[in-house]
Structure 1
Amino acid sequence: MSAISPVQTGNTLAQYPLAYLYGEPEVTARIRAESSDFVVVEELNFLPSGAGEHLLLQIEKTGQNTQFIARELARLTGLRVRDISYAGLKDRHAVTRQWFCFKWPIKQALAWQDWQIEGASILQVVRHYRKLRLGALKRNHFTIRLSQVTDSAALLARLPRLKAGVPNYYGEQRFGINGGNLHLAERLFNGESIADRQIRGLALSASRSFLFNQVLSHRLTLQAYEQLLPGDVLQLNGTGSIFAITEVDDILMQRLQSADIHLTAPLVGDGKTLVTAEAARLEQQAIAPWQHWVEGLIRLRVQAGRRSMRVVPEQLTAEIEQDSVLLRFALPAGCFATSVLRELVCYRDSARELAQMEC
């Protein structure tokens, strides 16, 4: 029996809605009516040394994506684009402060103060002893303005629930416009080749993210999102350390409730799955319709992993300003602000609507 493809005509993501933890919000609002409505500031997971062969540049950008800035830095320095590194990708339709890095001789001058980069400004430059690696972030800090809020009081009443954590879904931006990256993944799994390594990587990443979301949504639907099961794999809060359990006890349940540990779902790929027993049965049930994707990820030697099913927003606050609400919170690197927003408010994203019109 052939596997069912998740990729159909139209908006792929809309055909597979994700479950909510607290029920779909009734309050509506708009986000990113202006780029300044969505501000992201990176926090590195290390302190720059102040000395070394590499330059770290903190750049504030508006209306530009991360790759554009990397290309501009390569042009201005005469380096190759691949010589420009960064800790994470940031959305074009926002104001973001992020870090870039390249190797530059200590005794060679660099007139970076004279550079002109459209939509960007360099806030600071500091030396460091090693290259900036992808993922070298502790957290991202968000300041988000929700405009055209229909019921600010109801929104604020819902806010305290989110402080205990929300489903750690991958956001829509991971999948491209109308799930376009998933269509690319389907082509890969059907035997086509994609020469561009970056686009190929985006497609593979999107497929794993999609499958993760399906498992998480399935456990929410079965009310097993906050319930330990025999065979579950858990993650220690604030670390990448994971461990499997064979039995459930009161101590583990208390640690889960206090957010000392988190349940995980799979990042499908090649390697040991670790999950067993009842937990494994639920995961296999959730991704069974896309078994050819699982087989494709294994065949292409994408490394298997696990990801926490819960993310706890830090320093979450809200402030009412007429018909707008200003949210502030921080999330660990790799987590999506939109996963917090979707549990709080039914929002329309002006930036994504504009992007769809430009396609």
Structure 2
Amino acid sequence: LAAAGGLDNLYGGQRFGDGGRNIARGLRYLAGEGARMRRKADFLVSAGQSTLFNLYLLERRARGLSRTVLAGDILRKTTSGGLFECADPAVDQARLDAGEVEITGPIYGGKMMAPSEGTPSADLEAAILARTGVTQTALNALGRKVPGTRRPLQLTPTDLQIRAAPAVELASRAPGPHNPSLLSEGVCLSFGLPAGAYATQLTHEIQGPTDLETP
């Protein structure tokens, strides 16, 4: 995983409510249509911002840019956490490959550090907003409710261990041809994650694509 640059740092499905019901409402709230949804504002802001981030990350993945530095990208220093804008992709690509920096994606908001206009990175971030109907003007109007921040596109779990798990007997279930008393052997994963990362999403990324991949 470290050699591959880690795993995509997607938000898990629990951010979006049962069946993803808060996705559309969250985006409407961020677009300035949430006057009647004030009591659920915190949940909707979280769902909307998480949806936009996932869309951005998945778009970079689709374009083969998850590990490619673009001009204007907001990069994070892995040692200090400091953010800066990429002015020389060739230089910063070498730093990314060496593990010195990581690419961040947008948690859109009025005070988010953003790429300079006219850069490839800025164009990509703007394209995600245009696709969803959310505008920077609407985000600015929400003020302190939606300040915005940056989130690393990828993460590398620490202390990752994979081992065989023994079969487990389910004593509460009556055995039968369609209800066996033993579960088959499986695999046990143990790992550490930074704050804000999702264990369920990491296991999903390891297992492969499912319906949870898109918000």
Normalised by the length of structure 2, the TM-score is: 0.77
User: Which segments of 5 or more consecutive residues in structure 1 lack a partner in the other structure?
Assistant: 1-159, 353-359
Task: Name the % identity.
Answer: 28
Pick the structure with more strand per residue.
1
1:228 to 44, 69, 73: 69
C-alpha distance 239-169 of structure 1, shift in aligned 2 (>3 A) = farther
Q: In the alignment, what sits opposite 1:341?
A: 203
Pick the structure with more helix per residue.
2
Q: In the alignment, what sits opposite 2:37?
A: 194
Kept in 2: contact 1:162–1:343 (CA 8 A)? no
2:25 and 2:36 mapped to 1: Cα distance?
10
2:27 and 2:154 mapped to 1: Cα distance?
28
User: Which segments of 5 or more consecutive residues in structure 2 lack a partner in the other structure?
Assistant: 167-184
C-alpha distance 179-294 of structure 1, shift in aligned 2 (>3 A) = farther
Deviations 1:69-107 (A, max 9, x none): xxxxxxxxxxxxxxxxxxxxxxxxxxxxxxxxxxxxxxx
Kept in 2: contact 1:214–1:287 (CA 8 A)? no
1:256 and 1:237 mapped to 2: Cα distance?
10
1:230 and 1:186 mapped to 2: Cα distance?
28
1:190 Cα offset (Å): 2.0
1:240 and 1:177 mapped to 2: Cα distance?
34
1:271 to 85, 103, 111: 111
The code of the aligned residue for 1:192 comes to A
C-alpha distance 238-213 of structure 1, shift in aligned 2 (>3 A) = farther
1:320 to 164, 179, 182: 164
1:292 Cα offset (Å): 2.8
C-alpha distance 257-162 of structure 1, shift in aligned 2 (>3 A) = closer
Larger radius of gyration: 1
The code of the aligned residue for 2:105 comes to A
1:169 and 1:274 mapped to 2: Cα distance?
20
2:163 and 2:3 mapped to 1: Cα distance?
16
2:136 and 2:17 mapped to 1: Cα distance?
20
Kept in 2: contact 1:268–1:304 (CA 8 A)? yes
1:262 to 102, 111, 122: 102
Q: In the alignment, what sits opposite 2:19?
A: 178
- RMSD between aligned residues: 2.6
Q: In the alignment, what sits opposite 1:30?
A: none
Q: In the alignment, what sits opposite 2:9?
A: 168
The code of the aligned residue for 1:266 comes to P
Aligned partner of residue 147 in structure 2, secondary structure: coil
Aligned partner of residue 317 in structure 1, secondary structure: strand
Kept in 1: contact 2:106–2:112 (CA 8 A)? no
Aligned partner of residue 128 in structure 2, secondary structure: helix
Kept in 2: contact 1:163–1:313 (CA 8 A)? no
Is 1:304 aligned to residue 164 of structure 2? Answer: no
Aligned pairs (5 A) from 1:1-359? 160=1, 164-186=5-27, 188=29, 189-196=32-39, 199-237=40-78, 239-250=80-91, 252-271=92-111, 273-276=113-116, 277-292=119-134, 294-301=136-143, 302-322=146-166, 323-346=185-208
Kept in 2: contact 1:166–1:312 (CA 8 A)? yes
